[in-house]
């Protein structure tokens, strides 16, 4: 890979946690595919590493890609192929070029949708690495100090910090509604809220039909997104989603599945899978995934929520705060190749998040909007019960029990439970 400095860096670029993955992948693979929802900053980040580019959302570039694909791939490496899924035949071209060129770091591909023919199922093993980019976390936007490192907690270390400039609940409500979209940095809340609303409408009107190929009823898609918002951070089944979408002509299960799959293909919906754990008890595990959008602002806009309305509705605020925390935990755990699950059994025991690394190290977390001592005590009691129910093998790989709060101090309780505000969490 060339040592020359990148030439396409976007003004005001803020480092992304996933950027280290891109940098590492460019050093060992011929190409890197950066995937993620539209507007999360893929091009912004990719330009930080690229030395030339072609934008495949441009009609002239698409015509050239069709008539002379080899020409599109010419340019100083790493060459950025932005929105490559608009010309999916380039995938195999890139694979061949990676075989023909001896140096790693030849191409960066970015895409905001899985191609309709899913050309990536043809292997890119050994040639193309994948990196998922989500909207910005609170640490990436500067709202969190990052003093409570998830990596350190996964290694069993205690994290502690005193807040220097303490955000309030109003700031957390704003973070939920505004979201982690790079284009909202520096905007007022009112402008950002309007932008999220416009974006949701574009998802319904443009993104689903153009990227997924699904013939759709825009009204029904909006109803589905509203249902996901109303059921965010819950295990709502298909029947519940279909019931919420019923406006006189209830959709069939296949319709709901198709629309939900379309939202996943454009990275808008991102469910939180259930955790499989070895328990000493005979409790039956619940296997339903929790419903989430990739960013809680999408749920907020579908609910017509504002920071002020959330402050007056603790139930809705609590659900959206949990979704915010899950988003950030996913981002912070990504360098550890960890997955964020949830846990619940038929006895009522549950954990809002289980962060598990491939080596088996795990963190159980409860996410509480109420940062009062009684609320934290109840959350700690739940986590300790879960620890007691796990097998000896699972318990030995437990890294931490964590209570995530909106604000306050990061510290470790006498019972060993770690408490950390979302405004201190980091990678």
Summarised one tens digit per residue, pLDDT across range 381-393 is 999 999 998 888 7
Report the alpha-carbon distance of residue 102 to residue 92 in Å, rounded: 17
pLDDT above 90: residue 419: yes
SS3 274: strand
Cis peptide before 240 (omega within 30 of 0): no
Report residue 131's pLDDT band, with 50, 70 and 90 as the boundaries.
Answer: very high
Q: Is the dihedral of CA 379, 310, 342, 179 positive or negative?
A: negative
Query: From the CB of residue 252, how many other CB atoms can be counted at a distance below 10 Å?
Result: 9
Residue 277 has a pLDDT of 76
Give the chain's length. 427
pLDDT above 60: residue 226: yes
Pair 376, 418 in one domain = yes
Residue 280 has a pLDDT of 65
Pair 102, 148 in one domain = no
Enumerate residues 6+ apart whose C-beta is below 8 A from 134: 18, 36, 37, 40, 180, 270, 294, 295, 327, 330, 331
Pair 153, 285 in one domain = yes
Contact 332, 137 (CB under 8 A): yes
Mean pLDDT rounded to a whole number for the chain: 90
Pair 144, 120 in one domain = no
How many distinct structural domains can be found in the chain? 2
Report the alpha-carbon distance of residue 341 to residue 272 in Å, rounded: 6
Report the alpha-carbon distance of residue 23 to residue 292 in Å, rounded: 29
Pair 353, 377 in one domain = yes
Give me the domain span that covers residue 357: 138-426
Residue 7 lies in a domain: no
pTM over 0.85: yes
pLDDT above 70: residue 41: yes
pLDDT above 80: residue 122: no
Nearest alpha-carbon partner for 147 in 158, 133, 134, 135? 158
Contact 294, 269 (CB under 8 A): yes
Pair 159, 56 in one domain = no
Summarised one tens digit per residue, pLDDT across range 93-119 is 999 999 898 899 999 999 888 876 565
Report the alpha-carbon distance of residue 254 to residue 269 in Å, rounded: 17
End residue of a domain, out of 91, 113, 132: 132
């Amino acid at each position: 890979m060339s040592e020359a400095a990148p030439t396409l860096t976007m003004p005001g670029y803020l480092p992304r946690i996933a950027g280290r993955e891109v940098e590492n992948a460019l050093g060992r693979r011929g190409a890197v595919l950066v995937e993620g929802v539209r507007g999360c900053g893929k091009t912004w980040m990719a330009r930080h590493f690229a030395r030339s580019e072609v934008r495949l959302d441009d009609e002239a570039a698409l015509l050239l890609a069709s008539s002379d694909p080899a020409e599109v791939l010419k340019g100083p490496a790493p060459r950025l192929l932005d929105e490559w899924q608009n010309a999916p035949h380039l995938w195999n071209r890139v694979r061949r070029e990676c075989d023909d060129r001896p140096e790693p770091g030849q191409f960066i591909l970015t895409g905001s949708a899985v191609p309709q023919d899913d050309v990536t199922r043809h292997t890119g093993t050994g040639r193309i690495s994948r990196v998922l980019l989500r909207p910005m976390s609170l640490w990436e936007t500067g709202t969190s100090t990052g003093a409570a490192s998830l990596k350190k907690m996964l290694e069993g270390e205690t994290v502690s910090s005193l807040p220097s400039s303490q955000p309030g609940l109003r700031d957390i409500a704003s973070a939920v509604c505004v979201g982690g979209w790079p284009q909202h940095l520096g905007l007022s809340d009112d402008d950002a809220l309007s932008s999220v609303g416009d974006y949701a409408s574009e998802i319904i009107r443009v993104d689903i039909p153009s990227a997924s190929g699904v013939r759709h009823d825009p009204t029904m898609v909006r109803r589905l997104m509203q249902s996901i918002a109303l059921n965010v951070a819950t295990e709502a089944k298909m029947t519940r989603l279909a019931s919420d979408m019923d406006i006189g002509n209830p959709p069939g299960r296949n319709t709901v599945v198709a629309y939900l799959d379309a939202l996943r293909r454009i990275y808008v919906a991102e469910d939180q899978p259930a955790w499989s754990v070895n328990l000493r008890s005979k409790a039956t595990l619940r296997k339903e995934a929790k419903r989430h959008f990739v960013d809680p602002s999408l749920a907020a806009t579908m609910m017509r929520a504002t920071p002020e309305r959330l402050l007056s509705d603790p139930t809705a605020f609590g659900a959206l705060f949990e979704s915010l925390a899950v988003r950030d935990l996913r981002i912070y755990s990504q360098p550890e190749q960890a997955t964020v699950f949830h846990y619940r059994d038929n006895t009522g025991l549950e954990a809002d998040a289980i962060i598990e690394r491939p080596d088996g190290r795990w963190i159980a977390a409860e996410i509480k909007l109420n940062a009062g001592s009684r609320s934290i005590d109840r959350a700690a009691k739940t986590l300790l019960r879960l620890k007691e129910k796990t097998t000896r093998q699972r318990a030995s790989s437990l890294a931490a029990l964590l209570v995530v709060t909106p604000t306050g101090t990061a510290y470790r309780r006498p019972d060993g439970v770690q408490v950390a505000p979302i405004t201190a969490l980091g990678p």
